[in-house]
Amino acid sequence: MRICIIIFCTLVFLNNAQFVETFRYYDGNKLTVNFENINPGDYYKNQTSPIYPNFTVEVIEDGKNQLTLRILNPLDTFEIPHEFPFPYTKSDSAHGEYDYSVNEDGTFFSVSRYDGSPVFTITNATVLSLLYSELHTELLSEDIFGFGERRLNSFRIPKGEFSIWNHDFWEFDTQVGFSLYGTHPVVLQRYNQQYHIVLLRSSRPMTMERTDDELIYRITGGQLEFKIFIGKKNPKELIKQYHQYLNGWELHPFWSSGWHQSRWGYQNTSVIQDVIQNYKESNIPLEVIWTDLDYMQDRKDFTLNEEAYPREDIWNITDRTQPDGVHWVPIVDPGIAVDSDCGRDLVESGAYIKSNRQSQTPYLGMVWPGDVYFTDFNHPNAYELWYKCHKDWFTNYQIAPSGIWIDMNELANFRDGEKIKGPKLNDDIFELKDLPWDAMGTMTLEGHTIAIDALHEGQGVYFNVSSKYIPELDLHNFNGFLEQIEQRKLLQEIQNKTLIFQLSRSSIFGSGRFSAIWFGDNASTWAWLRSSIYQMFNFNLFGIPFVGDDICGFNQDTTPQLCARWIQLGAFYPFARDHNALGSKDQEPYLYEITKISAQNSIQLRYEFLKYYYYLFISQRDSTLQAGSGTIVDPLWFKYQSDPQTFNIETQFQIGNIIVNPVVDEQTDSSLDYTELQFYVPLSANWVSLENGQRIPNGWNTINRTFTDNAFLALEAGSVIQHSNATGVMRLREMSSDIDLIVVLNEFGQASGSYMSIRDYDNEETILQRCWNDQYTCIREISVKTYKDSLLFTNTKAKNDNSEEINIKNIIIYRNQQILRVEINVSSFTQSWQINL
């Protein structure tokens, strides 16, 4: 910090309140300012939402380019802890290199760069009360991104008001902008060619309104804390810092990056066996089969309807020692049937969410099996209970799923709010009618979910406060997160391994460390197909890069054309799953000619680059976190922002040195079997077509893509990309350990890149020890130069190299508008070699 403007007797006006500065103290990296309300006793709208009698502003200089702003009031006792597994600052104890002030004259708080350029300014805190606060902040530019999870029709945040409250509410979500399943109140903003990130670190329901010149936060009370990161010109570097604050993201096992097939409505195992057989006969790779509620007895968790799903069939389907064996991921919902073994264990354990109407009564919800209780994952007995329910399930039926799909964990509930009528048990816990506003607008916070006054354990494992209970109002948005943590731990314990796979619908800031997520129940429409790309960008910003959408669409009937285009796009999602709703028309890719050919080609293409995709995750290992950080799927402008055109491109995306250009529009002229694709390649690099090696003219291009063409891939000149021969590969375990290197020479005849020198990507212990490790790396760097008529390769071993020897089988050279394939079969341990052209 350079200057701290100190104005004594600051007056800030809020409603009828009159705040007077009473105390200011700066201790070297923290400024504390107290304000007292000299007209106390006033309320915001409702008699339950008193204006703060006083409050404290803390500005903590967390590091050179980051800071925390806290507005703390004496009325709230709940705070999100500042330690793992919650996001916290890994302090570099440096002083802040920015200016800030907490002052009057309309500016409540501001932080700016040393050159005076503004970063974050609260221009007016118009209300600061127990259950409603409203903060007006300055909008610096239209280049503003993030804030979710919500439905998107662009990556850039448009004008409008957007809400956050974890919700399973697709009927409601026909209006762009209202909340979906996750809580990520973070915005990335670009101003004067520099970037900054602001997270509102709150779990309370809220909205953010973007007007012409303001971002207005409306929050259902609670302690207010902003974490601000002040970046420079590189958004990827800045986002990486944000991910470090979030504790990073966890690596997924390689098999989970294969192709997944799922649907609600696979009534029995013979249907699934047919699906697997049809995939095989159609030569379409398949790695994982998913089962929705259909496998359960009466839709109850931890059961197996053995009439429809005989265990022998499951053993058969998942027998991966056989050529056809696949991985299997079943669904588990957090609502436990009252009438079930796990339900009875839950009651006995006491680890349930409680009703605020009758002492110690489990909160009664209604989900798929009918009446359910919900596990309170903050309760000290919850882990043991949840572990036992899974362990018994696996043991009783002798099943061993490869991963678990945790759905409905917002918590979704088919009964809006509290079932038990009558007065509240704990008067100090707010109920819906106490709130002076509802962040969901005309709908309610309790729609499709449980009451905001449901009770969680106060002295719990993750949140340990002085009060006996913590209300759902505070923990609601953490339900999915706490489940993710416990579920991950028990899978690690039961599977006896570190790398596990789970997929969650709900998420919050920090979830990437524990779970993959998908974008929830979408619809089979072109708008949803496009929005999945913006969602990928958002979730990369949110620190959850292993994500994807329901390929071909979930609700409603898909069409062959939509499904084909979605397969072509989805083949480049980090997580690729075809998933369908009960009652919707079948959409397995082999069903229509164009989806079949698309799946054959696109999934093969995915598999050719799958090790490269995995390498991109591995290369983001962050040893201070012992996890990954940074984005994997980027909009073009993350890297090529010197080219202003890239800022408006939101349906193309970049994975490493590859730009993926999918068709995202419907062909409405039924006489045509192609769609015109317009795509842009940035000016500041050169690009070649993967398909024919031709140089792609910089700027806008137009090509025709038939319904069976892959997404068009552009390769960046100057790069070396790891590639695999995936011809005929139906299961990932069939992939050879040999790799190819694609060498895309630039205008100087040079190229460089990295690859993983590892034999068996399915051997998770090897991956962990050799690649995902603080001391060692399995990544090799390679550079290529042209000298006269030869290519000279330099293959560099890092000091801490711990790789395995593999064969580099072919070098595929992109040079002079041509593709040249040279078989070399050189060991990855060879330091240099030469190819004569």
Contact call for residues 429 and 471 (beta carbons, < 8 A): yes
CB of 642 to ligand NAG, least distance (A): 28
Residue 401 or 553 with smaller CB distance to ligand NAG: 553
Q: Is the link from the previous residue into 362 a cis peptide, with omega within 30 of 0?
A: no
CB of 193 to ligand NAG, least distance (A): 29
Instruction: Report angle CA 134, 138, 141 to the nearest 5 degrees.
Output: 135
Out of 410, 453, 550, 608, the active site residue is 410
Out of 173, 292, 407, 486, the active site residue is 407
Find tokens 């701290």 and name the residue. 4
Residue 416 or 434 with smaller CB distance to ligand NAG: 434
CB of 129 to ligand NAG, least distance (A): 12
Distance CA 403, CA 423 (A): 43
Distance CA 351, CA 362 (A): 9
Residue 68 or 580 with smaller CB distance to ligand NAG: 580
Q: At what angle do helices 526-541 and 235-245 cross, to 10 degrees?
A: 70
Residue 285 or 543 with smaller CB distance to ligand NAG: 285
Cα atoms found within 13 Å of the Cα of residue 478, Cβ hemisphere only:
25
CB of 702 to ligand NAG, least distance (A): 4
Distance CA 3, CA 97 (A): 10
Residue 245 or 295 with smaller CB distance to ligand NAG: 295
Known catalytic residue at 407: yes
Residue 245 or 368 with smaller CB distance to ligand NAG: 368
- 336 strand-pairing partners: 373
CB of 174 to ligand NAG, least distance (A): 4
List contacts with ligand NAG (CB under 6 A).
34, 36, 45-46, 48, 53-54, 74, 106, 124, 126, 151, 170-171, 173-174, 267-268, 270-271, 273, 316, 319, 322, 380, 433-434, 436, 459-461, 464, 496, 523, 555-556, 702-704, 725, 727-728, 765, 807, 825
The amino acid occupying position 358 is: Q
Residue 526 or 647 with smaller CB distance to ligand NAG: 526
Known catalytic residue at 27: no
CB of 126 to ligand NAG, least distance (A): 4
CB of 51 to ligand NAG, least distance (A): 11
Contact call for residues 126 and 175 (beta carbons, < 8 A): no
Element housing 60 (H / E):
strand 54-63
What is residue 607's three-state secondary structure? helix
CA proximity to 263, closest of 297, 295, 306, 298:
295
Known catalytic residue at 521: yes
Out of 225, 345, 438, 521, the active site residue is 521
- 92 strand-pairing partners: none
Task: Please give the order of strands across the beta sheet that includes 751-756.
Answer: 818-827, 807-815, 739-744, 719-723, 751-756, 779-787, 790-796, 832-836
Element housing 493 (H / E):
helix 479-495
Task: Please give the order of strands across the beta sheet that includes 259-261.
Answer: 547-548, 516-518, 501-504, 403-406, 327-332, 288-291, 259-261, 576-578, 550-551
Residue 147 or 195 with smaller CB distance to ligand NAG: 147
The amino acid occupying position 575 is: F
Residue whose CB is nearest to ligand NAG in the complex, by number: 555
Residues marked as catalytic: 407, 410, 521
